[in-house]
Chains A and B, each alone.
Chain A
């Protein structure tokens, strides 16, 4: 096309140069228009809600309120508790998922009869919709129909077989357990893939060099897995911090907002309280926090890439 444009008589000077310079943008435009229409525009509208009074049940709402929502937020103890819960929820879920996933991956790395089948089964929780696994775990924790409270009581963890989801002090661990069950396969499979990419001769060379099992793990496996570990842990942390499904399905943020994380707090404010303005303000804060976090992730990734 560009070759033809150059040869056509009458196409010279500024017009031709302009056409040539614009050419790549025309090619890219369908994708760009799509991204602007379905991502950037809604994002901008969503952000604008944070500065307006938008309450669905109040027909007179919609006015500009400036930073009022953010001032309210600063004094909202529920928000701060949700922020604290988000940290607990994310750190506990990610570290347990990672640790169990690593153990599972190391176990699945060594050949044993039926390994193919076990590998497939390990992946099953990942295929269960998160929301459904939340409902299932809510039932498992229910002493009327679920066995878990009775088992926990039998081994002495609970003083009586009650539903941990109704105890504000420990209720957050219900969704965490469900999340760990659901998320272990992700770590197991990605770490297994990383393990399998380590050339076996490297282990053989280390064995001949005199390294025992532990030294091979520390000197070969860990350095080889480090980039994968860093990236998966950091990415999963964002994902989990941002995912209210299990909380909403299992506790609805209760009892008494004790299990509310920021993401579920946004959901509650928007779709239960129908206060979209305030929910947008909370979402904006969450977006900022995650952007800062993402920046840190990218910086760590860069330094990891440089190191390896």
Chain B
């Protein structure tokens, strides 16, 4: 197991800058998830760590050793590919012990390692089969088994679950988490699925357009997204964004949305600044008291029952807003209701820069250390 230091890493493909300087330190045994939309550079960063691409500038250190010029096989890392990349002409057992045979591991030890890993993953009966006779989920397990038999310094996962159906993905997600708890291995996991990121990560690295947007524990990214991108990317259903203007009159600060005024705590920004108000769907109560000054009139556009709760799409404040209620909601489309966003849960972002505007009073306390 090892620490991984990524120090000012840049990557150019021809004339295109894919990574604009990434700094990240991964602790021994940590599970870090790189998340972002396609093309954000997360896979490239993973391939740079693996050694499958050359680093244009900066340095990557594994356990303190600079690996920029080391071939992948000298870095002692294991990788699970999105396509699994199993060797089709080798049996499951040969797939799993290939790396051990290349390292001239004694046959007895190699067999023990393979059987141990196969037992853990529940593929011990498949050892003599060829990959093409396996289902997607079984192939995925073989790919994981191939990685763990080696006890490498770190595991790299490149969207390992995206070729599985939803049910299997959920199950494998749990197994990967359990495996990480058992092995305690340093892991870097790339995904575009924010649910995978939230459930698996010790820390999430949210990336966009070759830049790290925010690094932190899943809850921190969810509750204190540092900018509009992270706010919009993390969370499902996605955060509601409403154009507003920040106003301050004496001691009272409020947001103006159309005709409506929404009271909030003071922010460190000039009076009259255009801002974007972010509201998570679960922070909006439906069926509010019309007399409540925070209540907003809304028209129901769509009702999506989830089983667990209901997503109600409404037209309000001149835009479309989604509210999540854990209750069974039986409003008819077109009916008028009152919604009330929780003022403590307002996320306010400066429109021009997209950066988060913290509450003035708690500004210092809430900043991540």
Contact = CB atoms under 8 A, between A and B. Distances in A.
Contacts of B73: 207-212
A204 B87 contact: no
A211 B102 contact: yes
Contacts of B99: 209-210
A204 B80 CA distance: 11
Given A199-B83, A201-B85, A223-B89, A208 B98 contact: no
Interface in A217-250: 219-220, 223-224
B52 A205 contact: no
Contacts of A201: 81, 83, 85
Nearest to A209: B99
Q: At the interface, is chain A mostly helix, strand, loop or mixed?
A: helix
Give the interface centre of A201, A209, A220 by most chain B CB atoms within 10 Å: A209
A208 B87 contact: no
A206 interface: yes
A208 B50 contact: yes
A308 interface: yes
Contacts of A223: 89
A202 interface: yes
Contact of B77 (A205, A208, A211, A224): A208
Size band of the interface chain A makes with B: 10 to 19
A207 B70 CA distance: 12
A224 B90 CA distance: 11
Given A199-B83, A201-B81, A209 B89 contact: no
B167 interface: no
B181 to A, nearest CB: 24
B322 to A, nearest CB: 38
Contacts of A209: 73, 98-99, 102, 146, 150
Give the interface centre of B52, B89, B146 by most chain A CB atoms within 10 Å: B89
A205 B82 CA distance: 11
Nearest to B77: A208
A215 interface: yes
Contacts of B72: 204, 207-208
B62 interface: no
B109 interface: no
Interface in B75-107: 77-79, 81, 83, 85-89, 98-99, 102-103
A207 B71 contact: yes
A88 B52 CA distance: 46
